[in-house]
Amino acid sequence: MPSLPLRLSLLLALGLAGCDEAPRFTQPEPGEARSGGDTTVFKTDRNAFSMPSANLSPTQRLDFSVGNSFFRSPWVIAPSTTTARDGLGPLFNTNACQNCHIRDGRGHPPAPDAKNAVSMLVRLSIPNEPTYAKLIEQTGIVPEPVYGGQLQDMAVPGVAPEGKVRVDYEAVPVRFKDGTEVQLRKPLLQITQLGYGPMHPDTRFSARIAPPMIGLGLLEAIPEEAILANAAANKNDAGINGRPNRVWDDAQQKTVLGRFGWKAGQPNLNQQNVHAFSGDMGLTTSLRPFDDCTPAQTDCLAAPNGNGPDGEPEVSNNILRLVEFYTRNLAVPARRDVDSPQVLAGKNLFYQAGCVSCHTPKFTTSANAAEPELANQVIYPYSDLLLHNMGPGLADNRTEFAASGSDWRTPPLWGIGLTQTVSGHTQFLHDGRARNLLEAVLWHGGEAEPAKQQVLQFNAEQRAALLAFLNSL
């Protein structure tokens, strides 16, 4: 028998849900605890995001482990006797994927005393111009002329880092209907110690923390038509206008649907990995066989690389294949407490506030997924993978392909309740400004403004129920 407060919370949630067309949940839906379908793992400790899909074979688990070793281990400066892992830089943000995606989880902004902004990077660009139409079609942006599309705050000896990144904050108060006040923090990005002179006067900056790695293969396996169907359905949903990003596929040399990244700027996992190897670690691949140096960075261009004697890239196609397999098969943990009265009450409130207009609960993956184990899975990512205008408060004012300066892809919510356990913090949103899930909700604006206003009407009990639901995901 639940406690009286929980019963009241449930009744309140059901009463509110009855005011509109939101469904009422009095018990869990069949299968919803298994967020990743048959791939789901039942793990809740600090390694909960680092497990292979539950349905992989022993042979596949071996490939997963080898891919993990290249994801986890540091790369070194060339030339080196460690030829399989040399070629780091000349400019870079980190020397291992795992340094940003800590235990395959979420990154964070730099602490005040941090030497480097590891696990948060800063994208750069200048305003679009018609003369750059071809460049914009293929890269989504016009890079800053001297510093390129991403600020790298580390470099090999003999090459100057591009600059240093730190973040200050100013308080933004928000008040609930019951008088409870929350102090949000608005980030103030500081770029100092520029290594190559001043930047373009109209440079746009976008600070972005590393997102969690779980369930990426399942997101890749969602049929395109299912994503586009939600975009079409949004047209009839007052105030909600989810749109797909259309991005360049380097391998196919054409524009396709974007799925990955904070603005859905990457079409598939392999390309996302390739661009991370390039921009974050300065490593060449067959898709990007060049270092991330601009023409003005002569020391960077002249630095030794780790390419093979016949021009083989620093990251071989075989390593790239294994890392892709690893990133494709990091499993989603099962939900906890799905039958708790408080969690069910919070789920009703989540629906009643309209959060599901963007955080689409459920999809079925394609029959022809990249791996048979990822095919025909009923999954619960709580994302539509579409772009939504989130208002001026969250805007970075930086376009990326079809995404505007106030557009963001709906981030999946699965696993979000394990963030503290896995990553050791609860800093959310693209730049980590939110210190907990309630703050993350209160930053919602634009298309999500009505949902936020609903949440601001919630009393303490209802807020606790909503957070209990989110933490069950």
What per-residue confidence (pLDDT) applies to 82? 78
Distance CA 151, CA 284 (A): 18
Average pLDDT over residues 61-66: 98
Token couple for 258: 């974007």
Token couple for 213: 């790695």
Dihedral sign, Cα of residue 372, residue 318, residue 385, residue 136: negative
What per-residue confidence (pLDDT) applies to 4? 47
What per-residue confidence (pLDDT) applies to 18? 40
What per-residue confidence (pLDDT) applies to 285? 97
Evaluate if pTM is beyond 0.85.
Answer: yes
What per-residue confidence (pLDDT) applies to 468? 98
What per-residue confidence (pLDDT) applies to 421? 98
Strand order of the β-sheet with 150-151 is 150-151, 120-125, 204-209
Instruction: Reply yes or no on whether the pLDDT at 234 is more than 80.
Output: no
Q: 212: closest CA among 418, 2, 64? A: 418
What per-residue confidence (pLDDT) applies to 311? 86
The pLDDT confidence band at residue 94, using thresholds 50, 70 and 90, is very high
Q: What is the pLDDT of residues 148-180, one digit of tens each?
A: 999 999 999 999 999 999 999 999 999 999 999
> What is the tally of structural domains in the chain?
1
Distance CA 365, CA 387 (A): 20
- Residue type present at position 181: E
The SS3 call for residue 58 is helix
Instruction: Reply yes or no on whether the pLDDT at 11 is more than 90.
Output: no
The pLDDT confidence band at residue 20, using thresholds 50, 70 and 90, is low
What per-residue confidence (pLDDT) applies to 22? 82
What per-residue confidence (pLDDT) applies to 1? 42
Instruction: Reply yes or no on whether the pLDDT at 9 is more than 90.
Output: no
The pLDDT confidence band at residue 320, using thresholds 50, 70 and 90, is very high
The pLDDT confidence band at residue 2, using thresholds 50, 70 and 90, is very low
Distance CA 149, CA 278 (A): 11
Phi, then psi, of 44 in degrees rounded to 5 = -130, 10
Q: Are 308 and 284 in contact (CB under 8 A)?
A: no
The SS3 call for residue 267 is coil
Mean residue pLDDT of the chain comes to: 94
Expressed as residue numbers, the domain containing 29 is: 4-472
Q: 278: closest CA among 287, 267, 266, 291? A: 291
Instruction: Reply yes or no on whether the pLDDT at 34 is more than 60.
Output: yes
Q: What is the pLDDT of residues 437-468, one digit of tens each?
A: 999 999 999 999 999 999 999 999 999 999 99
Token couple for 91: 């400019």
Average pLDDT over residues 29-39: 98
What per-residue confidence (pLDDT) applies to 6? 56
HSE (side-chain half, CA atoms, 13 Å) at 76: 9
Residue 381, sorted as left (phi over 0), alpha (psi -120 to 50) or beta, turns out to be alpha
Instruction: Reply yes or no on whether the pLDDT at 13 is more than 70.
Output: no
Q: 1 vs 423, which has greater pLDDT?
A: 423
Phi, then psi, of 358 in degrees rounded to 5 = -115, -45
Instruction: Reply yes or no on whether the pLDDT at 146 is more than 50.
Output: yes
What per-residue confidence (pLDDT) applies to 17? 42
Instruction: Reply yes or no on whether the pLDDT at 378 is more than 70.
Output: yes
What per-residue confidence (pLDDT) applies to 7? 55
Average pLDDT over residues 49-67: 98
Distance CA 325, CA 347 (A): 34
Instruction: Reply yes or no on whether the pLDDT at 19 is more than 50.
Output: no
Instruction: Reply yes or no on whether the pLDDT at 374 is more than 90.
Output: yes
Q: How many Cβ atoms are within 10 Å of 158's Cβ, its own excluded?
A: 11
Average pLDDT over residues 341-353: 98
Residues whose CB falls within 8 Å of the CB of residue 238, separated by 6 or more in sequence, listed in order = none
